[in-house]
Amino acid sequence: MLHRKFIDLHTHSSASDGTDSPAELVRQAARAGLAAVALTDHDTLSGLPEAQEEGRRLGLDVIRGCELSTCTDRGEMHILGLWLPQHAAVLEERLEDIRRKRDTRNARMVDKLRALGIAITLEDVRREARGESVGRPHMAAVLVRQGVVPDITAAFREYLGAGAPAYVPREIMAPEEAVRLLAGLGATVSIAHPLQARHPDGWLEQWLERLLPCGLHALEAYHSEHSEAATRQCLDLARHFGLAVTGGSDYHGRNKPRIHLGTGYGGLRVPLSLLDDLLAQRRRLHLPVPDQPATPSCA
């Protein structure tokens, strides 16, 4: 028997910018021996029903989630929502508005690429995406497939990243709006990979103070791009601000081939006890918790 001791609360499927279908992602989580997995696609909930159905079939705890992109003075801040309700019309409406703005941005970026002599169309990008959330990773994949660049990293460096010739800034919500929106739905709200990028001393602390009154619950301490020092700093900050802790690989399938489900680059381990702590926090806050036990004994 394989005792399930670890979880992954940050993953992406083909519904956004991953390459595995939601069902295949859940099957991989089961094969990896995970006790629970959260599907947290970027700016879409469309993969959740398929993931949950596969989780029920396999007896694996699948947590409904999403990752919202927000804008700060130092670049983007990503906000995770976990345990989203089955019916989240207000979030769906806001995400639809975000996708409309993204479609406009995509069209402008494709026009810039074509002006650079690259034979790419919006239809090429949509076919590559296959899901509801379409963006730069899918453009990058088209550029790789066409032989314009050797890999995804080169596509962003040479064409699609900030400051590159085809880049267009995107219109996204403020962190306060994202936290209020998710908290208002009864989700557990966490800042994703807060120390993935370098920021001035005190910057993250200032944002935590700003977002706590909006309904922030947690900080993602365990992440594939966090060093051991970054993880320790996040754990210290969580204790200082009275926050819970989340963690996950940020798995994207073949789009980030070195990051593996549940283990990141190989050394990531998010303990099952963290899930129990998050559920205990939800009970204290009188938020809905799953009917089934969070800790399966074996699989």
Instruction: Give pLDDT, residue 292.
Output: 52
Pairing of strands 61-72, 36-39: parallel
pLDDT above 50: residue 261: yes
For residue 154, the SS3 value is helix
Q: At which residue do the structure tokens 């790419």 appear?
A: 120
User: How many C-beta atoms surround the C-beta of residue 241 within 10 A?
Assistant: 14
Q: Do residues 226 and 217 make contact, with C-beta atoms less than 8 angstroms apart?
A: no
Q: What φ, ψ does residue 222 adopt, rounded to 5°?
A: -95, 120
| pTM for this predicted structure | 0.85
d(CA 154, CA 213): 40
**Residue range(s) occupied by CATH 1.10.150.650 in the chain:** 95-160
Instruction: Give pLDDT, residue 14.
Output: 93
**Residue range(s) occupied by CATH 3.20.20.140 in the chain:** 6-88+172-284
d(CA 183, CA 177): 10
| DSSP 8-state symbol, 173 | B
What is the CATH code for 95-160?
A: 1.10.150.650
Instruction: Give pLDDT, residue 294.
Output: 42
Per residue in 180-210, pLDDT tens? 999 999 999 999 999 998 889 999 999 999 9
What is the CATH code for 6-88+172-284?
A: 3.20.20.140
